[in-house]
Each structure stands twice: as C-alpha cells, then as structure tokens.
Amino acid sequence: MSAAMLRTLLVALLLAPLAALASESIKLDRAPDRATNQAALQNGARLFVSNCLNCHGASYVRYNRLTEIGLTEQQIKDNLMFAAEKIGEPMGISMPRKDAKEFFGAWPPDLSLIARARASGDGSGADWLYTYLRGFYRDEARPTGWNNVAFPSVGMPHVLWELQGEQVMGADHKLSLARPGKLTPKQYDDAVGDLVAFMVWMAEPQAEFRKQLGVAVLLFLAVFFVVAYAMKRAFWKDIH
C-alpha cells in the first residue's frame, strides 16, 4: 500500500466518528443495493464523471479499472476520459489547487474512499450518500443558495439540481419539490442509486470478489469438517 493511500485511509477512519455524529439527528434513507448490476455501475460512472469529476478527484482509481464493471477500454476512452490522456491514469481533475481554493475556499476532497469514510453505526456509507444527494434544498441564507438535510450548512452547491429540480424545506421540516427538474422524482432516485453504487464500488473494487471468496472458503471448510469428522470416527472406532 502506498503512503498516499495509507494517509487517505487514516483520514477516512478519522472522519468516520464525525459522520456518525452528523447522522445522529437524521434518519438515513436506505440506498438500493446495485453492487452486482453492471448497467447501474456503468451509468453511475457516467454520472460521476459528468457531474463530480469536475471538482472532486478519485485519484486512487485508474480509468482502466472500469473494465471490471463491463466497459471496454475504447468505451472508457470515448465516453469517460475528459481529464486524462492514457487509460492507465488516475481519475484526477485538471483544476489547479490554487484555483480550487479561490473558487471554493478549500480543495474539494478526493472521493475515492468517501463511501467508506461516511459509514457509521446508523447506516452504511451508501445510505449516507444516498440521503445526501437527495437532500439538497434551497436556502438563501447560504452562500451557494443551497443547504442539505444530511450535511447542514454544506459548502457544496447542488450540482444535480437540473436533474432533481429545486426542493424547499417546509415549516414541518419536510422537503417538497417546488420546481421540477429534468427527471421525475423516481427517475432521479434511480439515477442517484446508480451514482452511489458506483461510488461504493470505487471505494473497494474487490468487495464482491472478497465476498465470493469468503463464501467459497466457508463452503470448503464445511466440506473439510465433514471429511475430517468422518476420518476421526474411522480412526477412533476401535478405541471407543
């Protein structure tokens, strides 16, 4: 493991308690499980590159890893590589740090491990991201004009507002859609579900392989136990 990735993992561990505190006052919505749905992961990758990669990098994921979700290298080059020239390059951004600090006040965080960093005892990182991306609402008191139910006083604007539309917070502290977007609420929720699924995959691309390997190991141990027990009975039958 590289020193840079180790530092990011340490930051993720440090952020986890903060995420837990942030989610205590809200009920996180359950994110759909699309970990094995390649069409959803591919659409999530498209949404991530089109809307998130402009400001946030994913520097611990290289473009060629997207072949693991069913894309060919040519599809990646034609449709997803806007800030890189070689298929083996990390998913970084071209915006200089100086400009980012001037525009946003701080360097936008890398999102490679955001799904793991936002996990808490009240829900998974996927649940937090799903709630966050669906929880923006208009707030003229904020510099960007936006606030968020999962991240109060958030500094990030609602980059997906054209798709979702504009929500407002009512006197009953519930969100309602004041101005519709290009997508219906259900279509937007589906799109966010795909985006979250990709961000979860991005945080641990080998997660599904690890789970499958774990199941295979447990099955092997179960079979081995039966064989070992039968051998034990055969060896000790004359002693008992």
Hey, where are the domains in the chain?
A: 3-205, 209-240
Q: Is the pLDDT of residue 6 over 60?
A: no
Percent of the chain with pLDDT over 70: 82
* Domain 3-205, CATH among 3.40.50.620, 3.30.360.10, 3.90.1180.10, 1.10.760.10: 1.10.760.10
Please tell me which residue, 40 or 143, carries the higher pLDDT value.
40
Q: How confident is the model at residue 146 (pLDDT cuts 50, 70, 90)?
A: very high
First vs last C-alpha separation in the chain: 53
* Residue 146, strand partner residues: 138
Of residues 117 and 184, more confidence is placed in 184
Model confidence pLDDT, tens digit, residues 23-63: 446 789 999 999 999 999 999 999 999 999 988 989 999 99
Structure confidence at residue 26 (pLDDT): 79
Q: Is the pLDDT of residue 93 over 60?
A: yes
Cβ atoms within 10 Å of 66's Cβ, excluding its own: 26
What is the predicted pLDDT for the residue at 100?
63
Place of tokens 């980012």: 100
Q: What are phi and psi of 50, to 5 degrees?
A: -75, -30
Structure tokens at 173: 């502290």
* Residue 29, helix vs strand vs coil: coil
Q: How many CA atoms lie within 13 A of 30 on its CB side?
A: 2
Q: Estimate the crossing angle of helix 185-203 against helix 38-47, to 10 degrees.
A: 90
The predicted pLDDT at position 166 comes to: 98
Residue 1, pLDDT above cutoff 60: no
Is pLDDT above 90 for 75? Answer: yes
Residue 141 tokens read as 């008191």
Residue pair 175/135 in contact by the 8 Å Cβ criterion: yes
Q: Please determine, for residue 80, whether its predicted confidence score (pLDDT) is greater than 80.
A: yes
The total of other beta-carbon atoms located within 10 Å of residue 100's CB is 16
Does 126 have pLDDT greater than 70?
yes
**pLDDT digits over 205-232, tens only?**
877 777 778 888 899 889 989 888 888 8
Quickly list H helices, the chain.
3-23, 38-47, 73-79, 97-104, 114-117, 125-133, 161-164, 185-203, 207-236
